């Protein structure tokens, strides 16, 4: 167990939380939290550390103790809400690219806010979604505005799901087919709760994980050995920007050929 894992596990035990409860409170997977505690993954991003500190209700000194156990703690490339000069990433004028920020991991709080404030459309594409029920309130708020959410998931029966599981084995215990099936089960729950939701399965190599909320977009990456929500995220703004147009077209092509999931079916 690493020093970070020891401190994290000590605070977890003090708060009387099991690993699943800590993971749920921090909006992380239990498998990932287990890797952090066991020392198999010792370089979480600053956003992950802060999420764990909030979930554990650590005070400032305790948070600094947790952060101090890590050397070279990865920091975000741009502060959320602050525009950054990113022409070095896109190779073109940032105003044309549409990038307004780069996050070290998926900024769940910002994403949740944009989902809840959506007035026209929500589109999400990934292999699976970790605990989509945590966004229930935001999805319901959007549904009250008449917004339908379109969700694209990797077909759990496709060979690409098995391959993605192998890609993730070095850093997590994720079973992609089972993760997708669990996501579908939670989507059925959201549907029963009144969320306006359509789910489809694609049977191709995963391209780009993306979340679209009206004119706002978050783009991640499918890196070897890394979950997409734990990789760097491009925050893009403006439906007329170059990157928004490119990624939305990719979503449309995948959606048109994907297989619908019948959410009224009670089977998991």
Q: Which two tokens stand for residue 228?
A: 């997409």
If asked whether residues 126 and 182 sit together in one domain, one would say yes
Residue 155: inside a domain, yes or no?
yes
If asked whether residues 137 and 96 sit together in one domain, one would say yes
Contacts of 234 (CB under 8 A, 6+ apart): 89, 99, 102, 218, 219, 220, 243
The model carries a pTM of 0.66
If asked whether residues 163 and 122 sit together in one domain, one would say yes
Residue 75: inside a domain, yes or no?
no
If asked whether residues 243 and 115 sit together in one domain, one would say yes
Per-residue pLDDT of the chain in tens (268 residues, 90 and over written 9): 678 888 999 999 999 999 889 988 887 777 778 888 887 655 677 767 878 888 898 888 888 888 888 765 544 444 444 334 333 443 445 445 678 888 888 888 899 999 999 999 999 999 999 889 989 999 999 999 999 999 999 999 999 998 888 888 766 667 899 999 999 999 999 999 999 999 999 998 888 999 999 999 999 998 877 888 888 899 998 887 888 888 999 999 999 999 999 998 765 4
Residue 178: inside a domain, yes or no?
yes
If asked whether residues 225 and 153 sit together in one domain, one would say yes
Distance separating alpha carbons of residues 25 and 39, to the nearest angstrom? 20
Per DSSP, the three-state class of 74 is coil
If asked whether residues 92 and 64 sit together in one domain, one would say no
If asked whether residues 224 and 254 sit together in one domain, one would say yes
If asked whether residues 184 and 239 sit together in one domain, one would say yes
8 Å CB contact between 208 and 250: yes
Residue 80: inside a domain, yes or no?
no
If asked whether residues 114 and 202 sit together in one domain, one would say yes
| CATH (domain of 254) | 3.30.870.10
Residue 77: inside a domain, yes or no?
no
Mark which of 37, 68, 99 sits at the end of a domain.
68
Q: Which two tokens stand for residue 93?
A: 């004028």
Residue 218: inside a domain, yes or no?
yes
pLDDT for position 246 = 87
Mark which of 19, 36, 68 sits at the end of a domain.
68
Cα atoms found within 13 Å of the Cα of residue 112, Cβ hemisphere only? 12
Phi and psi at residue 30, to the nearest 5°: -65, -35
Distance separating alpha carbons of residues 161 and 155, to the nearest angstrom? 7
Mark which of 41, 68, 95 sits at the end of a domain.
68
Question: Which of 54, 102, 113 minimizes the C-alpha distance to 74?
Answer: 102
Residue 48: inside a domain, yes or no?
yes
If asked whether residues 96 and 222 sit together in one domain, one would say yes
If asked whether residues 210 and 110 sit together in one domain, one would say yes
Q: Which two tokens stand for residue 13?
A: 């035990």
| CATH (domain of 43) | 1.10.260.40
Residue 82: inside a domain, yes or no?
no
pLDDT for position 18 = 92
Domain assignment of residue 183, given as a range: 87-260
If asked whether residues 43 and 107 sit together in one domain, one would say no
pLDDT for position 237 = 86
Domains contained in the chain, number: 2
pLDDT for position 173 = 66
């Amino acid at each position: 167990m690493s020093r970070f894992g020891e401190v994290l596990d000590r605070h977890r035990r003090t708060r009387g939380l099991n690993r699943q409860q800590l993971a749920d409170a921090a909006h992380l997977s239990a498998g990932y939290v287990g890797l952090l505690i066991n020392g198999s993954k010792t370089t979480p991003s600053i956003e992950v550390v802060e999420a764990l500190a909030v979930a554990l209700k650590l005070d400032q000194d305790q948070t600094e103790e947790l952060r101090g156990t890590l050397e070279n703690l990865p920091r975000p490339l741009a502060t959320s809400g602050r525009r950054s000069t990113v022409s070095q990433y896109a190779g073109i004028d940032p105003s044309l690219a549409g990038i307004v920020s780069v996050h070290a991991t998926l900024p769940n709080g910002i994403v949740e806010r944009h989902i809840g404030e959506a007035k026209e459309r929500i589109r999400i594409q990934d292999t699976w979604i970790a605990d989509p029920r945590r966004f229930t309130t935001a999805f319901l708020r959007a549904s009250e505005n008449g917004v339908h959410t379109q969700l694209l998931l990797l077909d759990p029966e496709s060979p690409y799901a098995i391959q993605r599981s192998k890609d993730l084995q070095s850093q997590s215990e994720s079973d992609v087919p089972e993760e997708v099936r669990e996501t579908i089960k939670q989507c059925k729950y959201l549907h029963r709760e009144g969320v306006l939701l359509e789910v489809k399965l694609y049977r191709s190599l995963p391209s780009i994980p993306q979340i679209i909320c009206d004119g706002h977009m978050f783009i991640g990456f499918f890196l070897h050995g890394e979950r997409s929500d734990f990789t760097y995220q491009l925050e893009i703004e403006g439906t007329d920007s170059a990157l928004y147009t490119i990624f939305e077209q990719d979503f449309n092509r995948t959606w048109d050929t994907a297989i619908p999931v019948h959410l009224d079916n009670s089977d998991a």
